[in-house]
Structure 1
Amino acid sequence: MPFERPGRGRLRRWGALLLVLALLAAIVRVALRDREQSLPPAAGSAGAAAQAPRFFGQVDSQPAAALPGERARRRQQLVDNYALADHTYCSYREGSMYPAHSRPMSQNTDQAYPNQPVLETNPMRGDDRRAHPDILLHTSQSRVYLAAGEAVALTLRAVEPDGTPVPLVVTRAVAAGIVGTGERPTPQVPLAFADDGANPDPVAGDGAYAAVLAPAQTGLAGFHGTIRTQVLYAAGGKNGVLIFDVIHSPKLPAVWTGTPREVLEDGSLAFVLRADVRQPGRYVVTGRIDDAKGRPFALATFNEVLGPGPNEIKLVVFGKLMHDGGPALPLTLRDVDGYLLKENVDPDRELMPRLEGPLLTSRVRSLEGVADAEWASEERTRHLSEFAKDRRGAAAALAAFDPSQPLPPGACGPVR
């Protein structure tokens, strides 16, 4: 007997039932048609038609003028269809005006300052995981991703909801790598939290405790993955627990070489960096672009496959973005980070050394030679063509239904 997936018999029964219902509906339609043909002429008047029995799916054959409510509903449906098609076309056109590798910083504000510490304020959590809202814990960590040789500064401080400091004592702090089931556990590395004014604690005796985790100087130097630091402490007569997580990359897949330079290419400004690639693969590199007033202006991204040895990495500020954004020139490249993307593994990246602070200020002082054309690609052209066709079709359907009314204005110009 051939194998039959569960539910297939039920689908067959439903199909048979639907077939029977369709036959019954056809019989009813034929019977009603014969009945109407046998009625005297008066019975075929509008009044008799209004009293005739109706059934599901029946289409009213009366002129639209006799049903103003139905006509209004149909017109509103066509208006909504046109509005959706217009919104889709205009949104895609505006959103793809600049390429994905060169975007306004206003659309990526969370990436403007990647090297700022991560600050959080949360209710204290006891070792029983219960929250204590009468005590708040201010925490910070200087970074989340650690390349080989980098360190992270961790701090914590307890206060009451009104800001009054709460005496705090760190009783134990241990860092260890998170491993999968069946994997060998990593060494546990003790951390010394102190409030002594020494780096990274800026002020002694202020109730804020700080410590530094430098995996390269510990038994975690070769660990690739998430390192979790568990801090046990006492505050306000209660015992609490706190977790800090960082993602560590123990080896460098590529290193930076040479001096950055600039080039005006294809009507866009490109900052060019050089890297010596030790492990070939797909690299993702991101740089921040500020204008002459220090305003974060653009986010430039490189995403390409690199072979081994010397390579150039171009971080591009698209020409039209420079025209539309009106930045104060010259532009400055700063805070570059990058990684080798690794698919189907966890962690999914190996980090390059980060380049912190300003790296290069462009010599370009005007928009001469900078193009003002929208981004063009085969994919964008194809999508715009399809969305424009949908927009024209929706406009034509609305105009044909009600020629006396003008089309609603398009969000990005008239329909052509």
Structure 2
Amino acid sequence: MTKRSAGTTASPRPGRRRLVIGAAVLAAVLLLFWQRDRLSPRRAPSEDDLLAASPAQSAGSAPGRDQAGPKPRWVGSKNAGTGEDAEASARQIAEKRLERARHTLEGYVQATRYPPGARPLSEKPDLQKPHSVAKNTLPLARPDHKLTDARVTLEQDRLYLVGDEAARLVASCTTSDGPARCEVLRAEARVPETMPQASTMPPARVAFADEGAGGSTIAALFAPAKEGFGGYHGPIAINLDLRIEGEEGAAQFNVVYTPAPPARLTGDVREVIENGSLCLYLRLAVDKPGRYVVVGRVDDAEGDGFAYLEHNDPLGAGAQEAKMCIFGKLVLDERAKSPFVLRDVEAYLLKEDTYPDRELVPGRDGPFHTTKAYPESVFSDAEWQSEERDRHIKEFTKDVKEAEGELEALP
């Protein structure tokens, strides 16, 4: 027998080596098939996506039936289990489809029971009062773009101005330690560089005054007509350079100005009961014909706001009326008692495909018109009807019927 050298291993015979390699390959293939079968889904993933989608539509929206795409078909795998399991899964999917279809129909009917021009005031939390502009807190914008501990809170009582109107601008300064002194280095109003008039309209100085509280709050009244912007229609930026606890940076307010109103509200209102609703016809003297948007809030006899009214229709030149109706069912559902008070009326001429998109009409803050007292019996409890609403309800009802039929057809 031949002796082997120390530290070496004998090589296997060629036949045995091929056998070992073949067995390893076969094991790898079997493992691959086992893993693929173990990880395969029991039903098509698209069904999970379909059933996870929320059936509710946004209030007042009316998408077509085909928006969601074709209805997926249930697909079972060869490893789906027993026939009872497959039938139970199919029934569960059909039940969820029916639930979604009913939810869509009920949600649409509920959202459109009032017309677009007469909505519950509770739906408009940001429009409860006129000229709503959200308070904004931002870091002081340093020229070197470094992070800063200084913060500036900007508040303004309106965004849109017309004629001789002025906006009240307030800036409050803070650091992580609390209120900090606002030192104004420069404050000026100018036309943004993106506007064609930027090169012809010189900037105007804006005077901010200390509002107390240790100098941490400053304020100014900005009236474009008095600052050289009387012939300009468009946005105006009010730029502030500030120093806060030794840090220097910038902040900015913005307003949109209409120099001459395209129309004016005369203050006259005509009341008419029409189809169980109280319609108010607001009179305007129109210089520029076009599509006018007029909005107002309505309080009941106890001073509770319950309705947000909107007129959105074209008006010709001369003496015109903007129709705004207090919908009967809204009155009854809100249990609102007359006389009603129309307040905080705003209006503008809508200009499409241009910026700014409106020319402002001077509005009226506070009470605008108080109606007569009406008995509850003059108001109708009927829901709003329109061709579009009827068409969508018909389509959503058809979806419910189809889903019911699919469920009934299952074993």
- TM-aligned CA distance change 1:148 to 1:129, over 3 Å: farther
Please state whether the residue corresponding to 1:90 is helix, strand or coil: helix
For structure 2, the residue ranges without an aligned partner over 5 or more in a row are 1-43, 45-72
- TM-aligned CA distance change 1:266 to 1:162, over 3 Å: farther
Separation (CA, whole Å) in 2 of partners of 1:293 and 1:160: 44
Matched with 2:129 is: 113
- When structure 1 is superposed on structure 2, of 274-283 and 151-160 the one drifting more is 151-160
Which of 202, 206, 226 pairs up with 1:187? 202
- TM-aligned CA distance change 1:204 to 1:84, over 3 Å: closer
Please state whether the residue corresponding to 2:362 is helix, strand or coil: coil
Q: Once the two structures are superposed, what CA deviation does each residue of 1:110-154 show, in whole Å capped at 9, x if it has no partner?
A: 111124564333333323344423x33232111111122211111
Please state whether the residue corresponding to 2:190 is helix, strand or coil: strand
Instruction: With the length of structure 2 as denominator, give the TM-score of the two structures.
Output: 0.76
Which of 244, 259, 269 pairs up with 2:268? 259
CA contact (8 A) 1:82 1:394 kept: yes
Per the TM alignment, residue 296 of structure 1 is displaced from its structure 2 partner at its CA by 2.0
Separation (CA, whole Å) in 2 of partners of 1:152 and 1:169: 21
Matched with 2:167 is: 152
Matched with 2:157 is: 142
Match of 2:128, as an amino acid? A
Which of 386, 389, 392 pairs up with 1:377? 386
- TM-aligned CA distance change 1:274 to 1:181, over 3 Å: closer
Instruction: With the length of structure 1 as denominator, give the TM-score of the two structures.
Output: 0.75
- TM-aligned CA distance change 1:288 to 1:74, over 3 Å: same
- TM-aligned CA distance change 1:230 to 1:184, over 3 Å: closer
Per the TM alignment, residue 255 of structure 1 is displaced from its structure 2 partner at its CA by 0.8
Separation (CA, whole Å) in 1 of partners of 2:221 and 2:266: 29
Q: Once the two structures are superposed, what CA deviation does each residue of 1:246-273 show, in whole Å capped at 9, x if it has no partner?
A: 1111221111114234332221112221
For structure 1, the residue ranges without an aligned partner over 5 or more in a row are 1-55, 196-200, 403-416
Separation (CA, whole Å) in 1 of partners of 2:293 and 2:350: 7
Per the TM alignment, residue 294 of structure 1 is displaced from its structure 2 partner at its CA by 2.5
Per the TM alignment, residue 91 of structure 1 is displaced from its structure 2 partner at its CA by 1.0
1:8-407 → structure 2 map (5 Å cutoff): 67-115=83-131, 118-133=134-149, 135-161=150-176, 163=178, 165-180=179-194, 184-185=198-199, 186-195=201-210, 201=211, 206-402=215-411
Separation (CA, whole Å) in 2 of partners of 1:65 and 1:213: 75
Separation (CA, whole Å) in 1 of partners of 2:196 and 2:152: 35
CA contact (8 A) 1:97 1:374 kept: yes
- TM-aligned CA distance change 1:326 to 1:140, over 3 Å: same
Separation (CA, whole Å) in 1 of partners of 2:321 and 2:132: 28
Separation (CA, whole Å) in 1 of partners of 2:239 and 2:376: 53
Number of paired residues?
Answer: 338
Per the TM alignment, residue 65 of structure 1 is displaced from its structure 2 partner at its CA by 11
CA contact (8 A) 1:288 1:336 kept: yes
Separation (CA, whole Å) in 1 of partners of 2:356 and 2:193: 11
Separation (CA, whole Å) in 2 of partners of 1:271 and 1:281: 20
- TM-aligned CA distance change 1:204 to 1:217, over 3 Å: farther
Match of 1:149, as an amino acid? D
RMSD: 2.7
Match of 2:170, as an amino acid? T
